[in-house]
A and B are shown apart, each in its own frame.
Chain A
Amino acid sequence: MFPFNFEWVWDMSHMVFMGGLWYALGILGAGMTFCVIKAILDTASGKGGHHH
Chain B
Amino acid sequence: MDSALIPKGVKRCPIWQFALGLGIAGAVLLWGVYAMFLCWFKGLNQTNMNDYYGFALWIWADLAVIALGGGAFFTGLLKYVFGKDELKNIINYAVLIGFICYSSALLILAIDVGQPLRSWFIFWHANVHSMLTEVAFCLSCYFCVLTIEYIPLILENRQLDKVPFVHNLSHSMHEYMAVFAATGAFLSFFHQGSLGGVAGVLFGRPFAYREHLFIWPWTFFLFTWSAAAYGPCFTLLVTRITEKIARKQLVKDATIQLLAKIAGWMMFTYIIAKIIDTIYWATTTAPSLGFSLKEFYSNNPVYGFSILFIEIVVCGVLPAVMLVIPKVRSNRLLLTLATVLAVIGVSLNRWVMVLQVMAVPVMSFDTWVMYYPSWQEVATTILPVAYGVILIMISYRYLPIFPQEAELNPLEPETPVAAEMDSQEATEADADPELTPAEA
* A13-52 with Cβ < 8 A to chain B: 13-14, 17-18, 20-21, 24-25, 27-28, 31-32, 34-36, 38-40, 42-43, 47-49, 51-52
B123 within 8 A of A: yes
Interface size, A (range): 20 to 34
Contacts of B124 in A (CB 8 A): 1, 5
Interface of A is mostly: helix
Residues of chain B within 8 A (CB-CB) of A35 are 169, 172-173, 176
A24's partner among B125, B141, B172 (CB-CB below 8 A) is: B141
Known: A13-B128, A17-B128, A39-B171. A27 touches B165 (CB 8 A): no
Q: Main SS of the interface on chain B?
A: helix
Contacts of B362 in A (CB 8 A): none
Residues of B close to A28: CB separation below 8 A: 141, 144-145, 148, 180, 183
B127 and A7 contact, CB distance less than 8 A: yes
**B contact residues, range:** 20 to 34
Nearest opposing residue in chain A for B133, CB measure: A17
Most buried by A among B128, B133, B167: B128
CB distance from A43 to the nearest CB of B (A): 5
Is the Cβ of B127 less than 8 Å from the Cβ of A31?
Answer: no
**With a CB–CB cut-off of 8 A, which chain B residues contact A14?**
128
Contact present for B123 and A24 (CB under 8 Å): no
> In the complex, what residues of B have CB within 8 A of residue A47's CB?
164, 168
A27 touches B168 (CB 8 A): no
B94–chain A nearest beta-carbon distance, Å: 19
| Bound-state Cα–Cα, A23 to B6, Å | 39
Residues in chain B within 8 A of chain A (CB atoms): 123-129, 133-134, 137, 141, 144-145, 148, 161-162, 164-165, 167-169, 171-173, 176, 179-180, 183, 186-187, 190
11 contacts between A and B (CB under 8 A): A1-B126, A24-B187, A28-B141, A28-B144, A28-B145, A28-B183, A31-B179, A36-B169, A38-B168, A43-B165, A51-B161
A-B contacts besides A17-B134, A27-B179, 15 pairs, CB < 8 Å: A7-B125, A14-B128, A18-B128, A20-B190, A28-B145, A31-B176, A31-B179, A31-B180, A34-B172, A35-B169, A39-B165, A39-B172, A40-B168, A48-B167, A52-B162
